[in-house]
Amino acid sequence: MMSLTLEGVVLIGALGLIVIGALGMAISNHLFRMLLALVLAESGANLLIVLSGYRVGASAPILGFGDPTAPMVDPVPQVLVLTAIVIGVGVQALAVALLLKVYRVYGTLNVRELRDRMDADVATAAGVEADASQDAPAGERPLPPVPAHASVGSGGFGRRGPVPFPPQSDERRP
């Protein structure tokens, strides 16, 4: 059993924030919640950097308060974090601006819907048919045979449906 020290406790806190932030960015479906998770991870990183300059039993790096002969904590990590926090809020505001713009153009912040709509936009700009499923094999790869109960005329590039092979829809291929 590890003994409970201040730096150990704070280390757990910093790591917890980083991991929760990374997890949130991985599992969120909503861009705004991703932004919140990013803020959490950034806070955890800042805490970790300040922790690296901590010295047990030392005083704050300001002269004129307390015992002048006592050791001081390392001030360099504090300086780095000081600017990083303010930069962080600037970057956060930039992210908010981008979210506003995305919402104005696409009308949603859900990651999956956004991907679908962006795909549709790209396909429209390229002048190709947009509704090809991502799961359907592309190009000239052979496809599994059509089950017997599939009626002859119903093949085609449906959203989820299987593409019949060999037959009757060859002329549709580019």
Partner 1 sequence: MRNLASLLFAGGLAFLLLTLLSQLAFGTPPMRVGSEILAVAPGEVGAANLVTAILLGYRGFDTLGELAILFAAATAAGVVLGRRRDDARRDPPGGEVLRTGADLLFPLLVVVGFYVIAHGHLTPGGGFQGGVILAAAFFVALLAQPARHLSHGLILWIEGLAGAAFILIGIWALVASGDFLAPLLGPGRMGELLSAGTLPLLSLAIGLKVGAELAGIMAHIADAEAPDT
Partner 2 sequence: MTTWVALVVVVLMLASALAVLLLRSFVAAVAATAVVGLGLTVLFVLMRAPDVAMTEAAVGAGLSGVILALALRRLGLWRIEDNGRGDGDA
What are the residues binding partner 2 (CB under 8 A)? 4-6, 9-10, 12-13, 16-17, 20-21, 23-24, 27-30, 32-33, 35-37, 39-40, 43, 46-47, 50-51, 53-54, 58-62, 73, 78, 81-82, 85-86, 88-89, 92-93, 96, 99-100, 103, 108-113
Q: Which residues contact 78 (CB under 8 A, 6 or more apart)?
A: 50, 53, 61
How far out from the chain centre does Cα 174 lie? Answer: 36
Distances (CA, A) of 9 to 47, 57, 76: 12, 16, 22
Conformation bin of residue 81: beta by default, left when phi > 0, alpha when psi is -120 to 50: alpha
Residue 130 DSSP label:
S
Q: Which is nearer to partner 2, 36 or 146 (CB)?
A: 36
Contacts to partner 1 by CB under 8 A: 5-8, 11, 15-16, 18-20, 22-23, 26-27, 48, 51-56, 60-64, 72-79, 82-83, 85-87, 89-91, 93-94, 96-98, 100-101, 103-104
